[in-house]
Amino acid sequence: MLIGVAIMPHGNPVLEPEDDETRRLTEVLRKIGEEFKEADSYVLISPHNVRMSDHLGIVMAEHLISWLGFDGVELPGEWETDRELAEGIYEATKDRFPVVDLHFASLRGEYSRWPLSWGELIPLQFLEKKPLVLLTPARSLSRETLIEFGEALGEVMEKSKKRIALIVSADHGHAHDENGPYGYRKESEEYDRLIMRLINENRLEELPKISEELVNKALVDSYWQMLIMLGAMGVGNFELKESAYACPTYFGMAGALWVRG
Ligand SMILES: [Zn+2]
């Protein structure tokens, strides 16, 4: 069953927070890790692994290995894929959705290996090591398709005998700082404020109403995987237990934890 859902950021500042807001966010990430100690497996959706515009990826490769840190921050480690769950998700969705099963080098065993980036490694720093299924979102699929895929994913997790936690790796607007790589755009602030309101006011069902223009102008890295999350959360009642937001550099980071109500 799906025991909980979390949004976790993947920016380096949460690793060594330097201000109160970021420390508070890091505290929420630790609480997510505590809560999900009781999970058997994770499903992790990351926007910084395979990037396909119009296909969703399901990583089948068995051994997930740290490869690419951001800005020189290396986070070594190895994780294992929950292959049974990965196959279950693929089988349940492949006829209805544009999903791709992703292998590298070998179909099974020692040489079935796969690289991880900061998009996965930073959330994983806060989570007890457990088997996981790594999924990748797709920006060109329709909102309906992403939500419906999430619903199908939610059903697979819900029917499983394992206790599964869904984790969405996401950062929000990337144009918060005029000296940052994307400059300053008011839309980044607007999008981030709106997302936190929808989270804190239990209005996630309004996510699909956010305009395409705002999503594009705010330069976000969160919207598509959050639509999948919204679909998956339809399998039950979830209560918000923790949330926090910080923007110590040029991009907005949020943490949120929902548990079964
Ligand atoms: Zn990102």
Q: Give the phi and the psi of residue 145 in degrees, each rounded to 5.
A: -60, -45
DSSP per-residue codes, 201-256: TT-GGGGGGS-HHHHHHTT-BSHHHHHHHHHHGGGS-EEEEEEEEE-SSSS-EEEE
Give me the mean pLDDT over the 173-181 stretch: 97
Instruction: State how far the alpha carbon of 170 is from the alpha carbons of 90, 114, 135, 251, in Å.
Output: 23, 21, 13, 11
Residue 97 CB partners (closer than 8 Å, separation 6+): 56, 145, 148, 149, 152
157 C-alpha vs ligand 1 centroid, how far in Å?
A: 25
Q: What percent of the chain has pLDDT over 90?
A: 100
253 C-alpha vs ligand 1 centroid, how far in Å?
A: 10
**Residue-range domains of the chain with CATH:** 6-160+219-260 (3.40.830.10)
pLDDT tens, 36-70?
999 999 999 999 999 999 999 999 999 999 999 99
Count of CA atoms in the C-beta half-sphere (13 A) of 120: 30
161 C-alpha vs ligand 1 centroid, how far in Å?
A: 32
pLDDT of residue 144: 98
118 C-alpha vs ligand 1 centroid, how far in Å?
A: 8
- Residue 123 and residue 12 in contact, taking contact as beta carbons nearer than 8 Å: no
pLDDT at 189 over 90: yes
pLDDT of residue 188: 98
pLDDT tens, 73-132?
999 999 999 999 999 999 999 999 999 999 999 999 999 999 999 999 999 999 999 999
pLDDT tens, 232-257?
999 999 999 999 999 999 999 999 99
- Residue 157 and residue 1 in contact, taking contact as beta carbons nearer than 8 Å: yes
Work out the pLDDT band at 221, boundaries 50, 70, 90.
very high
Work out the pLDDT band at 261, boundaries 50, 70, 90.
confident
103 C-alpha vs ligand 1 centroid, how far in Å?
A: 23
Instruction: State how far the alpha carbon of 22 is from the alpha carbons of 10, 70, 202, 228, in Å.
Output: 13, 18, 23, 26
212 C-alpha vs ligand 1 centroid, how far in Å?
A: 19
Give me the mean pLDDT over the 193-217 stretch: 98
134 C-alpha vs ligand 1 centroid, how far in Å?
A: 16
Give me the mean pLDDT over the 184-204 stretch: 98
129 C-alpha vs ligand 1 centroid, how far in Å?
A: 22
Nearest Cα neighbor of 26 from 12, 37, 11, 15 is 15
In what side-by-side order are the strands of the sheet with 63-68?
A: 78-80, 63-68, 113-117
Q: What percent of the chain has pLDDT over 70?
A: 100
| Helices then strands, each counted (H, E), the chain | 7, 11
DSSP summary character for residue 138: -
159 C-alpha vs ligand 1 centroid, how far in Å?
A: 31
User: What pTM value is reported for the model?
Assistant: 0.98
